[in-house]
Amino acid sequence: MRYTPAGVPMSGFVLGHESRQIENGIERSVMCELQAVALGEMAKALSAAVAGMKVEAAGFLAAKNQRSKMPVLHVTNIKFVEGIENGLQAEEKR
Amino acid sequence: MRYTPAGVPMSGFVLGHESRQIENGIERSVMCELQAVALGEMAKALSAAVAGMKVEAAGFLAAKNQRSKMPVLHVTNIKFVEGIENGLQAEEKR
């Protein structure tokens, strides 16, 4: 866990995705990786995660920084689908 | 418009996004660019688009290719929000 200059917990990670999708009427397999980041309570919730865990993550995409337009998923909602018996779910308080 | 080796119409473009989002309880501005691609009927629908048009696009993310894991949005649903009077909407037939 890192901290922003303002002392906010921050966690950076990579989400891997694999699924079957339909494109132009044809089913195809899909793989992708997405850089992701979580701040504050979300970062704390993620400290329980272990590499390879199945999760459902939601949030918004933002450019990595001024120089790199690489999209990074800012996670505001995460659900551990596997690995934690009580299935931890963390959601950004609005 | 390009065509795949199998002769399927294919259109590649860049989606720009700007919005305000809430992260860790704080509102912030967000900008990002996402490479996008459309195949078949979706590519044809996009041939009416002009750079700068406002659209709502949905689909799935997939890695650009074996070497580049850069996520590309494969568009399966697009709605022109501005610029075409009758507001063209094209959706992948399931």
By residue range, what is the domain housing residue B20? 2-91
**A54-77 confidence digits (pLDDT tens):** 999 999 999 999 888 889 999 999
Task: Name the closest residue on chain B to residue A37, using Cα atoms.
Answer: B23
Contact B30 A61 (CB under 8 A): yes
Buried b (16+ CB within 10 A) or exposed e, A19-54: eebebbeeeeeeebebbbbbbbebbebbeebeeeee
Q: Å from A86 to nearest chain B CA?
A: 24
pLDDT < 50 positions in chain A:
85-87
CATH number of the domain that residue B42 is part of: 2.40.50.140
Q: Which is it for strands A55-63 and A9-23: parallel, antiparallel or unpaired? A: unpaired
Phi-psi region of A92 (alpha: psi -120 to 50; beta: other; left: phi over 0): beta
Going by their DSSP bridges, the two strands B26-39 and B71-80 should be labelled as parallel
Between A27-36, B11-20, B29-38, B78-87, the lowest mean confidence (pLDDT) is in: B78-87
Number of structural domains chain A divides into = 1
